Amino acid sequence: MGRKSKRGITISDVVSYSLLTIAAILVAMPLLWMFSTSLRPTSESYQLPPQWLPTEFRWENYLAPFDSSVPFVQLFINSMKITLAVTLGQLVTCSLAGYAFARLRFPGREFLFLLLLASLMVPGQVTIIPIFLLMRSLGLIDNHLAIILPGLISAFGVFLMRQFFKQMPQELFDAARVDGAGHIRSFLQIALPLAGPALATLGIITFNAIWNSYFLPLIFLNSWDNFTLPQGIALLTGYMGAGNPSVVMAAVTMAILPVLAVFLVAQRWIIEALTRAGIKG
Amino acid sequence: MRRTTMHKRGMLPEITPKRREAIVGYLFILPTYVGFVIFILYPLIESIRISFLEFSILRESTYIGLDNYAHMLGDSRLRIVYMNTIIFTLFAVFFNAGVGLLLAVMLNRRLPTLMRNLYRSVFFFPVLVAHTYIAVIWRFLYQQDTGVINYYLSFLGIEAIPWLSNVHWAMAAIIIMDVWKNTGFAMLVFLAGLQSIPHEYYEAAQLDGANERQLFFRITIPLLSPTIFFILVIFMIGALQVFDTIIVLTAGGPGDATRSVVLYIWELAFRNFNMGYAAAVSMTLFAIILVLTALQFVISRRWVHYE
């Protein structure tokens, strides 16, 4: 405790450094194993004792998923298409609604906002059956729209954007009004350009959630042409898992790469956003 | 606001600035509300209706009143999946929050900033990776004869554990993997909570001769209690809905040993097409989550101004 106090390194410091290091190693190990296995020859996939760092570099394992009967490229494209559509859609709908709830006055505003917020309490499993029936009657089974459409709105996203727009100083908008700007122009030319951090936060959180989602694709999609990456990799494991962990791990590594890239680039935003969302509830 | 609307009623729709603002406001929330009504409000109401039906896409539906709800009382599989879910929830919440708190407290000590940030990133990264991929990796690690985990345990004199094929170990396997993946989120939130506790409190207590244990239990824990409570509720709500973690690792097996409520709902609705009963079961889960959320709301209101 008390980071500022000036004392030497105590036993409890040593204990906590050690525990932290052990914990970090334990957390990193499965991912290290994934990566080192992905570069090993298939015959050595199950090699014990395990090698944590790659000793060989069979990069051709990374080509194997593309050569297999699994349409790996298509899976990637499908996931990317759904993820981008949902993310862009949410950025639009959430910034519009967030702005309205934060800065425009209209009758019923508080009620409509609370009603929307209350929908956060409704778990997805409760609404999935009617949504499935709806999509079925629209002929959207095994169609990406069945996943994209329900994803286009987000109560959480509206909440996030509203908080951000509320913090903007009123003077900005007063000045714009004096210059004759209407509400739409104020939104597009003043509020939105300043909302970069909030949009980035929402975009990253949504991108990651949709990129990783499994429940909806599992319910709506049923052909290899339409499957998403998580679906494909889960099935790939079933097909060739026992025989070929190296190739499966190469596929998983490739699937995780976009997440890792986003994390490395936007780490500070992600951590701040999730912390803020967490602290405020 | 309301007064002017009333005042203007009866006049021709002259567009006052106030009215213009309201129109723009409604237009701005329109996309969100259309989606909200179609994909949340309507399905919720429809789901309640379906729960009173003998409903399947394979047959004509009939109204059966509370039969679905009555049927649950005698459904032994429902009892099993609820027990599984409760066991998973208790352990997963306890260890996710406990390990997360421990890591956060250690990270909040005197530590070079670089080291703190590095460890924080390592602990947090698995949170961002899909359950599906994590489960695919861990399925290999958990193999009885060839798995890495049993290999290391053998040095401790532990015989090869049938992680995924034994009724009891399979649940442990799921909980361990879940904690590995999710405790980083608890750590992150706890660390932020710890950093918001003013240093003066600790310094004052240290001057009074308090030891580390006292500092922890008399200052840290009480001041962190809103955050702890928040984490417990959030993780509880998430754990009650566990699905992705289980379906790839064990698919509910062996037998029904790791089948959760949501897996059961999914199987009822989309494998057996017994949608009326599935909807009724989902209502029980909804009710539990509603109570937990309400509890969180009420208690956090009471605790929110703790500074």
- Strands B62-63, B53-54: pairing is antiparallel
Domain boundaries, chain A: 11-57, 65-280
The dihedral region occupied by B159, where left means phi > 0, alpha psi between -120 and 50, and beta the remainder, is: beta
Model confidence pLDDT, tens digit, residues B160-213: 889 998 999 999 999 999 999 999 999 998 998 898 888 888 888 888 888 888
Looking at chain A, which residue has its C-alpha nearest residue B19? A106
Shortest Cα distance from B120 to chain A (angstroms)? 9
B75-303: CATH architecture: Orthogonal Bundle (1.10)
Residues of B in contact with A192 (CB under 8 A): none
A65-280: CATH architecture: Orthogonal Bundle (1.10)
pLDDT at A156 over 60: yes
What integer pLDDT is reported at residue B3 of this predicted model?
47
What integer pLDDT is reported at residue A101 of this predicted model?
96
What percentage of chain A carries pLDDT values higher than 70?
89
| Residue with token string 């998430």 | B238
Cβ distance of A123 and B121 shorter than 8 Å: no
In angstroms, rounded to a whole number, what is the distance separating the alpha carbons of residues B162 and B159?
9
Residues of A in contact with B20 (CB under 8 A): 182-183
What integer pLDDT is reported at residue B307 of this predicted model?
40
ipTM of model: 0.85
Residues of A in contact with B223 (CB under 8 A): none
Cβ distance of A13 and B110 shorter than 8 Å: yes
- Report the range out of A66-80, A248-262, B278-292 with the highest average pLDDT: B278-292
Model confidence pLDDT, tens digit, residues A86-117: 999 999 999 999 999 999 999 999 999 999 98
What integer pLDDT is reported at residue A243 of this predicted model?
54
Q: Of B93, B136, B40, B74, which Cα lies nearest the Cα of B240?
A: B93
Domain boundaries, chain B: 2-50, 75-303
Test mutation, B21, B129, B200, B247, chain A, max A CBs within 10 A: B129
Looking at chain A, which residue has its C-alpha nearest residue B111? A3
Q: Is B64 exposed, middle or buried (0-12, 13-18, 19+ CB in 10 A)?
A: middle
Looking at chain B, which residue has its C-alpha nearest residue A231? B132
Shortest Cα distance from B168 to chain A (angstroms)? 23
Q: Which of A98-107, B2-11, B85-94 has the lowest mean pLDDT?
A: B2-11
**Which helix H or strand E contains B63, and what residues bound it?**
strand B62-63
Q: What is the mean pLDDT of chain B?
A: 88
List % helix, strand, coil for chain B (3-state, nearest 5): 75, 0, 25
What integer pLDDT is reported at residue B12 of this predicted model?
59
pLDDT at B85 over 50: yes
Model confidence pLDDT, tens digit, residues A214-268: 999 999 999 999 999 999 888 877 655 455 788 888 889 998 988 888 888 878 7
Q: Which of A193-197, B120-124, B286-290 has the lowest mean pLDDT?
A: A193-197
Q: Mean per-residue pLDDT for A179-192? A: 88
**Identity of the residue in B103, B111, B128 whose CB atom sits nearest the CB atom of A23:** B103
A210 and A83 in contact (C-beta within 8 Å)? yes
pLDDT at B305 over 60: no
Q: Mean per-residue pLDDT for B139-156? A: 87
Residues of A in contact with B269 (CB under 8 A): 128-129, 132
Shortest Cα distance from B119 to chain A (angstroms)? 6
Q: Of B36, B154, B196, B168, which Cα lies nearest the Cα of B91?
A: B168
Residues of B in contact with A271 (CB under 8 A): 120, 124, 188
Looking at chain A, which residue has its C-alpha nearest residue B31? A93
Whole-prediction pTM value?
A: 0.87
- Helix or strand or coil: residue A9? coil
Shortest Cα distance from B136 to chain A (angstroms)? 7
Shortest Cα distance from B294 to chain A (angstroms)? 9
